[in-house]
């Protein structure tokens, strides 16, 4: 993997190529809507371009992007303008669809989880972060991450009738 | 755990090419300035104001006295109408002749100043500061044994004897040890010290005291008035002659302190006479206009006694026969800063020169006054102000170390027998001084 400059703002195309799935996936998991995820995706990289920050290493940069993604997603979903102008039914009409039926089932089950469980599950299984990294991104203790993973897995196992989450 | 499934799903979670192109386009545009989070700053400022206010109120609540003052001031400032301050005068006996400018002198007056006073009161009473008519002086001198020749010689000098000074002289001579206390030389000596000589009048009818020493100042004043031609300019706050015989011209403060044009102009007008300058807040024209309004307003309320422009103090001296909230509210409206009008309230005392002469300490001083709050709450009557003076033992005069209990010699000593009156009139040092 080619090294990118640690100062934000340079080599933006390469940067987006490398982290677009990370940012977009987390935004999608958090908001449940492609339209909102599109907004969050753009806002995160615009903020990255303008922040002028110099990162210690790639881990630091990735953690910053994930944290900013969660913040932007929260801002988008909690804005009063959105709450007043976007009907809930309109959002339900545009589901997030994957190629395979199993994938759609897993996604629906994941979206059915409470946010406290959904984000640790997503970051652990989809982004393959360690509990320590998840704790940093979500600003909670590693023990709390492990507890939420356990409870989230139980709920998913029950929703998916034992498929996909038989082993931890 | 199905790793392959999650990897496939993650790969499908990517933005559409349109979104990516839109992002590239936004990144290519010049960066916009990030909006300032005013709401956040506003919330922080409001919280800070709340905390400061809470601490202030908490601090006040620690001291119930302060708290009561705070509540009282809040009620007065926010709820009640503003009221002008005033002093009540016991036996108000100020003597002022109608439409005259007087030069005061004698005991208790360090400087001579000119003041134009309107007075509607009856001047025929026997107030202690009243001037003696020639026939009154003649009769009084006859009563104590002066001959007609001595009286004629004395009156030819032109001393302006007043009743108060006459009785002071009588009291002084009665207590002297000489065989013939009422001799002409003694009276002349007393008059030289205490009285002024009537040698003429200033343009406003003012008498000239200590003529030889004030002549230059008076000439300068006449020249200055000649330049004004009856119309005072806005920068002119009045003039008075101080105890060195210098004419002090008051200049209104709002002119540039570094600009000496006016001073040079006045010196030029007065031919570089004996003139000095002082600054003041109000112009004489403003005070005269204010005087008209005050006289009209107080006359309508039937409270008016007298009102004059005190050019030395740069204020109006207003005397009222009594006071009402309506009058105080009117005065507060006319004088919002509460410093252009000095209000004295009280009835004229009956003439009792025989009693006055037994109290030489108060002759020539301001009358005893009681300061009151605008609401009219007086100092308690039973407060013996002289007895509360700190005890002076000749070596220590420490206010902090005063004994709570009065010393025996203090308790035994009536207030009227105090040998030396305090330098400051304690009855005027209450919490609402006007000066």
Q: What is the pLDDT of residues B336-382, one digit of tens each?
A: 888 899 988 875 544 444 444 444 444 444 444 444 444 444 444 44
**pLDDT interval class at B386 (50, 70, 90):** very low
In a 3-state reduction of DSSP, which class is residue B142?
A: helix
CB contact under 8 A, A98 and B22: no
User: Has residue B322 got a pLDDT over 90?
Assistant: no
Q: Taking every pair of C-alpha atoms in chain A, what is the biggest distance, in angstroms?
A: 48
- Which residues of chain B lie closer than 8 angstroms to A46, CB-CB? 23, 26-27
CB contact under 8 A, A103 and B12: yes
Cβ pairs A/B, distance under 8 A: 67
Angle formed by the axes of helices A142-159 and A131-138, to 10°? Answer: 100
- Which residues of chain B lie closer than 8 angstroms to A12, CB-CB? 27
Distances (CA, A) of B215 to B116, B212, B244: 20, 6, 11
CB contact under 8 A, B6 and A28: no
CB contact under 8 A, A21 and B11: yes
Report pLDDT digits (tens) over B59-115.
766 666 666 666 666 665 655 667 888 887 765 544 433 333 333 333 333 333 343
CB contact under 8 A, B6 and A100: no
CB contact under 8 A, B1 and A166: yes
Find where tokens 């000239």 sit. B208
Report pLDDT digits (tens) over B269-311.
888 778 888 888 898 889 989 999 998 888 888 888 888 888 8
Cβ-count burial of B18 within 10 angstroms (0-12 exposed, 13-18 middle, 19+ buried)?
Answer: exposed
- Which residues of chain B lie closer than 8 angstroms to A45, CB-CB? 23, 27
For residue B416, what pLDDT is reported?
46
Tokens of B5: 């499934």
The partner residue sitting opposite B19, judged by closest CB among A41, A103, A168, is A41
Cβ-count burial of B350 within 10 angstroms (0-12 exposed, 13-18 middle, 19+ buried)?
Answer: exposed
Is the pTM value of this prediction over 0.90? Answer: no
Find where tokens 């102000």 sit. B385
User: Which residues in B312-348 are b (16+ Cβ under 10 Å) and which e?
Assistant: bbbbbbbbbbebeeebbbbbbeebeebebbbbbbbeb
Interface confidence (ipTM) of the complex: 0.80
Instruction: For residue B46, give how far its alpha carbon lies from the nearest alpha carbon of chain A (Å).
Output: 22
Which residues 91-150 of A are in CB contact (within 8 Å) with B?
Answer: 98-100, 102-103, 106-107, 125-127
The upper half-sphere exposure of residue B306, i.e. CA atoms within 13 Å in the direction of its Cβ, equals: 26
The partner residue sitting opposite A25, judged by closest CB among B8, B10, B26, is B10
């Amino acid at each position: 993997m080619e090294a990118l400059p640690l100062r934000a703002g340079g080599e933006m195309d390469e940067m987006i190529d490398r982290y677009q799935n990370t940012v977009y996936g987390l935004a999608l998991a958090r908001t449940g809507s492609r339209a909102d995820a599109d907004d969050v995706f753009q806002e995160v990289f615009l903020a990255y371009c303008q922040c002028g920050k110099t990162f210690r290493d790639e881990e630091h940069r990735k953690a910053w992007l994930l944290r900013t993604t969660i913040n932007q997603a929260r801002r988008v979903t909690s804005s009063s303008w959105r709450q007043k102008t976007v009907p809930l039914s309109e959002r339900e009409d545009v589901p997030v669809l994957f190629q395979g039926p199993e994938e759609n089932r897993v996604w629906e089950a994941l979206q059915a989880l409470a946010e406290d469980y959904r984000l640790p599950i997503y970051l652990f299984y989809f982004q393959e972060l360690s509990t320590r990294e998840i704790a940093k991104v979500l600003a909670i203790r590693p023990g709390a991450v492990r507890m939420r993973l356990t409870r989230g897995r139980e709920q998913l196992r029950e929703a998916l009738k034992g498929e996909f989450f038989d082993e931890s | 755990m199905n790793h392959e499934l999650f990897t496939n799903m993650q790969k499908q979670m990517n933005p559409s090419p349109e979104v990516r192109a839109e992002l590239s386009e936004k990144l290519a545009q010049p960066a916009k300035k990030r909006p300032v989070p005013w709401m956040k700053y506003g919330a922080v400022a409001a919280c800070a104001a709340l905390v400061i206010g809470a601490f202030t109120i908490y601090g006040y609540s620690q001291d119930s006295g302060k708290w009561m003052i705070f509540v009282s001031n809040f009620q007065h400032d926010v709820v009640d109408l503003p009221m002008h301050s005033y002093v009540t005068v016991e036996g108000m006996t100020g003597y002022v002749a109608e439409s005259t400018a007087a030069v005061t002198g004698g005991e208790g007056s360090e400087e001579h100043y000119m003041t134009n006073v309107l007075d509607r009161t009856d001047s025929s009473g026997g107030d202690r500061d009243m001037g003696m008519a020639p026939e009154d002086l003649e009769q009084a001198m006859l009563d104590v044994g002066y001959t007609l020749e001595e009286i004629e010689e004395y009156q030819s000098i032109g001393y302006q004897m007043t009743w108060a000074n006459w009785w002071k002289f009588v009291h002084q001579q009665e207590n002297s040890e000489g065989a013939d206390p009422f001799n002409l030389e003694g009276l002349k000596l007393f008059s030289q010290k205490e009285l002024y000589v009537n040698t003429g009048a200033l343009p406003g009818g003012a008498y000239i005291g200590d003529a030889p020493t004030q002549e230059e100042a008076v000439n300068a004043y006449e020249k200055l008035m000649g330049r004004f031609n009856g119309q005072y300019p806005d920068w002119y706050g009045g003039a008075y002659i101080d105890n060195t015989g210098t004419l002090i011209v008051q200049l209104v403060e709002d002119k540039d302190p570094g600009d000496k044009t006016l001073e040079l102009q006045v010196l030029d007008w007065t031919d570089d006479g004996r003139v000095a300058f002082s600054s003041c807040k109000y112009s004489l024209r403003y005070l005269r206009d204010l005087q008209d309004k005050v006289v009209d307003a107080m006359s309508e309320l039937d409270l008016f006694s007298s009102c004059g422009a005190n050019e030395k103090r740069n204020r109006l001296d207003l005397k009222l026969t009594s006071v009402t909230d309506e009058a105080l509210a009117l005065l507060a409206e006319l004088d919002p800063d509460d410093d252009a009008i000095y209000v004295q309230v009280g009835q004229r005392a009956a003439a009792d020169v025989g009693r006055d002469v037994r109290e030489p300490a108060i002759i020539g001083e301001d009358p005893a006054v009681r300061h009151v709050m605008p609401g009219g709450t007086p100092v308690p009557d039973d407060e013996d102000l002289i007895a509360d003076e700190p005890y002076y033992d000749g070596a220590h005069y420490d206010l902090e170390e005063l004994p709570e209990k009065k010393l025996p010699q203090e308790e035994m000593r009536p207030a009227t027998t105090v040998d030396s009156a305090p330098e400051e009139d304690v009855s005027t040092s209450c919490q609402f001084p006007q000066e």
